[in-house]
Each structure stands twice: as C-alpha cells, then as structure tokens.
Amino acid sequence: MTVAHSLNSIGSMLIKLWREKTSVRRDDWFKLVCESYEHPPVFHKGVELPGFPPDSIQINTTGKAGVGTLMEAFVFYQDCQETFAALGKPLSEVDKLLDFGVGWGRIARFFLSEMPLENIFGVDVMAEFVDICKKTFRSDNFYVTSPFPPTALPNGVFDYVVGYSVFSHLSEKACHEWMSEFHRITEPGALIALTTRGRPFFDYCESLKDKGFGGYRDALSIMFSDFDEARARYDRGEFVHSNANGVTGGGAMTSDFYGETFIPEQYAREAYAEMFFLERFLFDSSRQSHPIMFFRRR
C-alpha cells in the first residue's frame, strides 16, 4: 500500500467517524433547509433562512427544484464540511467563505449552519442570479463578475472557496486564471473545493447518441467526435474540454470559456501545484454526481 493510499484510508475512516458522530444534527439541518422551501419563513440562530427563486429557475440551472435539488447541494456541503474537518480546518463562525458560481445560492445557504450570513460571499457571471441572492439572502455580499478574473475582492480574506458545477464547465485558461485569483484572495492554508465532470460522464454522454432526446442531451452525445480518444486523453491525465455547439451555456456563457470539462486527478495535482496542494480527489459515484477536488493553498 502506498503512502497516498494509507492517507486516503485514514481520511475515509476519520470521515466515517465524523459522519456517525454528527449525522443526527446534520439530518436536522437538511430538514430545516427543506422546510424553508416548503413552509417559509424558517429561522436558524435568529436569522431567517434564504428564500428561493421560482421552480422554473431552479430547474433551468440545476435540472431539479425543491428538495431534489437541495439534496444534491447538501451532499456537496456535507462532503466539504467533513473533509475540511478531516484536513484539520473545520468550518467555524469566524471564517469567510466564497461560493464561486453561486447561481441562486443553492449551495451557499447550507454553510449558514456553521457561519454567520455576513461571512458568506458569492460571485457569478449572471447578474440575474446575483440579484436573486441579494434579495433571498438579504445580503450585499454577492457580486457580478466577468468570466475571467480579477474580481474586486480584496487579497487574502477567504478561508474557503467552494464551487459546485463550475469547473465542470470552464475552459483550461479560465480554470487556470480562476485558480490564480483564488490564490490571491485566500490566506495560506485556505481550503478550496471544486467539482468537475467525472470519467463516467463520458459513457453517459456517449450512451445518448442517436436516442433523439433533442436539445442539450443530443449536443452532449456528439460533443466529442471520438469518445474513446477523449477518454484516453483523460486517462493520460490531460484536461479535457468541449465547447461544441449546444454544450455552451448560452447567454453570458459563451464558447470562449464555457462548455463541458473533465479534470483528471493527475492534472489537478500537477497543473496548480505552485499555488495549491491537491489534498483529496473525492469521487464516490454511488452518492456524488461530480468528483470534488480539495486543494490547500500554499
């Protein structure tokens, strides 16, 4: 067994113990956030939990609405919470967190379990989403950004950056520039959690070929002219991205920076090594739809 494997299994054991110790409280937290969707207003530590945009916006951005979409977000939050603790930096109320590509705040709201509203920030390219967050969170900590940095955020202020389903879309250049920006705005030792497309997504997209679903699913099925070649590049540790017709997001999401992105573990470890150490590449496809790359800022 290699040192990396031993560290990984010690990490998994710590996470299992943490999950057993805390599952009741965190199930309650999930129920409370669901309650804020089903029967608002709901309060936590005296603060009203954020509201929601109409179901149509939730579905357009995440494919689901209500409890279904919250469950996916909760699994990510839980993986972050547990892994941050296992890496020796548990979430705390004095820390500051940036949700990169915050959308309508699906992910950010879960961190209110540990952190006060004033320490949670978000950026997004879509002004409409930033407006939704400002209104539903009743906070001015949400900002519109250009597709490429810099942001106006100050140097060295954040302890955590999370980004769900954003590095699963950005081009290699955009990812690299955003990693440099995260390096600038975080303090040494900060933890970064970013999801990307996993290897099984190649197979899923290929399986859609000639099924005639139309729209996005058809576009996914032909985004690579040769899926075997794309998988081989991934297996060699290369960054794999497609900006073929139909897989760019539309609107503000243009093909010069947006599409479908698969970042393999080896690439994540090597490409940003001067700025970040890859602590963990977490992917359990039985419960996660996206692998998570956990980095520590050098």
Ligand X SMILES: C[S@@+](CC[C@H](N)C(=O)[O-])C[C@H]1O[C@@H](n2cnc3c(N)ncnc32)[C@H](O)[C@@H]1O
Question: Phi and psi dihedrals of 295, rounded to 5?
Answer: -115, 150
Among 77, 110, 158, 164, indicate the residue that binds ligand X (CB under 6 A): 164
Question: Does the footprint of ligand X cover residue 98 (CB under 6 A)?
Answer: no
Q: Which residues pair with 124 in a beta bridge?
A: 144
Q: Which stretch binds ligand X (CB under 6 A): 26-34, 158-166, 238-246, 283-291?
A: 158-166
Question: Does the footprint of ligand X cover residue 179 (CB under 6 A)?
Answer: no
Residue count, binding to ligand X (CB under 6 A): 22
Among 18, 53, 62, 291, indicate the residue that binds ligand X (CB under 6 A): 62
CA 43 vs. chain centroid, Å, equals 25
Query: Which residue number, 18 or 129, has a Cβ lying nearer to ligand X?
Result: 129
Q: Which residues pair with 243 in a beta bridge?
A: none
Question: Does the footprint of ligand X cover residue 107 (CB under 6 A)?
Answer: yes
User: How far is Cα 162 from Cα 298, in angstroms, rounded to an integer?
Assistant: 17
Among 136, 145, 171, 243, indicate the residue that binds ligand X (CB under 6 A): 145
Question: Does the footprint of ligand X cover residue 66 (CB under 6 A)?
Answer: no
Residue 31 C-beta: closest distance to ligand X, Å: 20
Question: Does the footprint of ligand X cover residue 175 (CB under 6 A)?
Answer: no
- Alpha carbon separation from 247 to 22, 61, 164, 220, 250 (Å, rounded): 39, 14, 18, 6, 8
Question: Does the footprint of ligand X cover residue 30 (CB under 6 A)?
Answer: no
Write each residue from 204 to 223 as x if it is in contact with ligand X (CB under 6 A), else as -, in one continuous string.
--------------------
Question: Phi and psi dihedrals of 151, rounded to 5?
Answer: -100, 175
Residue 104 C-beta: closest distance to ligand X, Å: 7
Query: Which residues sit at the interface with ligand X, rule CB under 6 A?
Result: 61-62, 101-103, 106-107, 123-126, 129, 145, 147, 164-166, 170, 174, 253, 257-258
